[in-house]
Amino acid sequence: MARIGIIGLEGRMGQALVAAIAAAGHVSAGGVDQGGDLAALAAASDVLVDFSAPAALEANLDAAMAAGVAIVVGTTGLEERHHFLCDAAAETIPVLQTGNTALGVTLLAHLVREAASRLGDDWDIEIAETHHRMKVDAPSGTALLLGEAAAGGRGISLAEHSARGRDGITGARRQGDIGFASLRGGTVAGDHSVLFFGDSERITLSHTAESRSIFAHGAVRAAAWLVGRAPGRYAMGEVLGL
Residues marked active site are found at 131, 135
Any alpha helices (H) in the chain, and if so which ranges? 12-23, 38-43, 57-67, 80-89, 103-118, 141-154, 213-226, 236-239
Strand partners, 6: 31, 49
The torsion angles phi and psi of 221, rounded to 5 degrees, stand at: -65, -40
Alpha carbons within 13 A on the beta-carbon side of 65: 15
Residue 13's DSSP bridge partners are none
DSSP annotation of 56:
G
Strand order in the sheet with 178-184: 162-163, 178-184, 124-131, 190-198, 201-209
